[in-house]
Amino acid sequence: MTYRLPAALFATVLALGVAAPAFAAPATVAAFDPDKDGTIDLKEAQAAASMKFDMLDPDKDGTLDAKELTGLMTAAEMKAADPDTDGTLDKKEYLAVVAARFKAADPDAEGTIDAKELSSPAGASLAMLLK
């Protein structure tokens, strides 16, 4: 399943969503690599993100509000990722942010994230939405 972002939303997510907080522990590729090929592809990233979404949704209403996303997205990032402007992100919207951050963390555009890419600021920003 792939999600396409409008160009303006993609640019905003890239501009705002590439820095992880200094306190974030570095993620490892192995944590998101069920096929153990040493890389993370978008499907693997979105599977991990889907599980993370479910963990972040304790009220099980199918959406994440600003409180549930505290520490993962700024208010500006959330607003940019919320095309229906309802103040929440549903799973499709959350996975669209994951796809944008994945693309930002994959500068060689080969469709996978390796350990070096995951340790970059863009990779750390992606990992925050997965772990």
pLDDT of residue 101: 97
Q: What is the pTM of this model?
A: 0.79
**48-93 confidence digits (pLDDT tens):** 999 999 999 999 999 999 999 999 999 999 999 999 999 999 999 9
**3-21 confidence digits (pLDDT tens):** 454 555 444 444 444 444 4
Q: What are phi and psi of 62, to 5 degrees?
A: 80, 10
- Long-range (24+ apart) CB contacts under 8 A made by 38-41 are 38/114, 38/115, 39/112, 39/113, 39/114, 40/112, 40/113, 40/118, 41/111, 41/112, 41/113
pLDDT of residue 6: 54
Q: Is the pLDDT of residue 41 over 50?
A: yes
